[in-house]
A = this chain, B = another copy of it.
């Protein structure tokens, strides 16, 4: 995996411990955390970091295409370091947000672009329901 500092530098960002921490955390996380979750997760290792910095950092990253913002019907946005367009599932029982592998969507997306009178830049497909684990518990 490419070094985080290197990636930030290539995007023309000044490299700071806070930015490295946020981006590294996001790249290693599967949970699609929101700002608060990122802040809490980094608190032990970066005790001086503020929540405002997390927000500002995420905003930079988003505009530079380093992260993707997800709106899954919660009051706060979640973030994903995988920026390639891919669908997500949201379990309404446990709240878990997961990535979904689906090449068919990418292909359809290409086709769509040609047929639609709308130039697609980004796409979000979110499936709400109950995940396998929660279904078994019930």
Q: How far is the CA of A117 from the CA of B133 in the complex (A)?
A: 9
Report yes or no: A71 in contact with B72, Cβ–Cβ below 8 A: yes
The 8 Å CB contact of A121, one of B109, B122, B124, B128, is B128
Report yes or no: A129 in contact with B119, Cβ–Cβ below 8 A: yes
Which B residues are CB-close (under 8 A) to A91? 118
User: What's the number of copies of this chain in the assembled complex?
Assistant: 2
Report yes or no: B128 in contact with A122, Cβ–Cβ below 8 A: yes
Q: How far is the CA of A99 from the CA of B121 in the complex (A)?
A: 17
Interface hit among A15-23, A49-57, A100-108: A100-108
Query: Which residues of A come within 8 Å of B, CB atoms?
Result: 69, 71-73, 89, 91-92, 100, 102, 104-105, 108-109, 111-112, 116-132, 135
Report yes or no: B135 in contact with A119, Cβ–Cβ below 8 A: yes
The 8 Å CB contact of A108, one of B73, B104, B128, is B104
The 8 Å CB contact of A71, one of B71, B102, B125, B127, is B71
Which B residues are CB-close (under 8 A) to A131? 117-118
A107 to chain B: closest residue by CB = B108
Report yes or no: A121 in contact with B130, Cβ–Cβ below 8 A: yes
Known: A71-B73, A108-B105. A127 touches B132 (CB 8 A): no
